[in-house]
Chains A and B, each alone.
Chain A
């Protein structure tokens, strides 16, 4: 079973700053890596799929990169609405299951 480890657990930044969130897999996941944003009381929202593709309606300030075992979500200039919890997710070929990272909380400094 593939384990996803996100870092840091908490990231404290100010609006306008650049955010870099990391997700490391215990073994290669090819490019089947997705990122989600979750705000309190809401379901997660898909931001990035296949490591670097933006989902529909996602602002240009969000970008994803990486392959194999190391992936990054970058928010180029933080807006107030970006402060939330971010999760990475992968789906392995075998066993054919999804797994999530433990999340990174992006909080206002």
Chain B
């Protein structure tokens, strides 16, 4: 059974960089065919896909966040990470990591709330 767990600070100051890590267990992050994704949900709102890193290392980001987001992978630790720069209060959200396949996302982390505030 694949499990994902987000970790990182729950509070980030405006203009700083939000950094989160997702630890994958029960399967190798290097396994072919998966899109290791970050998704967020603003309080009381819907889901917003942030981006993914494919098992090959290629990345794709939501155009609305592309200039501020970077996703990377550390296969030695079976982890992938996200950095979102120049955050504002509008980036306050629950952030989920998830495993995607061609047309859907099958495993999700429990989510972590990140608040942007001074």
Which residues of A does B touch, CB under 8 Å?
A: 1, 31-34, 36, 42-46, 49-50, 55, 87, 89-91, 95-103
Mostly, the B contact residues are strand
B74 CB-CB contact with A under 8 Å = no
When chains A and B are docked, how far (Å) is the Cα of A44 from the Cα of B37?
Answer: 14
A-B contact pairs, 27 of them (CB 8 A): A31-B103, A32-B102, A32-B103, A32-B104, A34-B104, A34-B105, A43-B110, A43-B111, A44-B47, A44-B96, A46-B104, A46-B106, A49-B103, A50-B104, A55-B106, A87-B46, A89-B47, A89-B105, A90-B103, A91-B102, A91-B103, A91-B104, A95-B60, A98-B52, A99-B49, A100-B46, A103-B47
The 6 closest A-B pairs by CB, nearest first: A32-B103, A34-B104, A43-B108, A49-B104, A98-B49, A100-B47
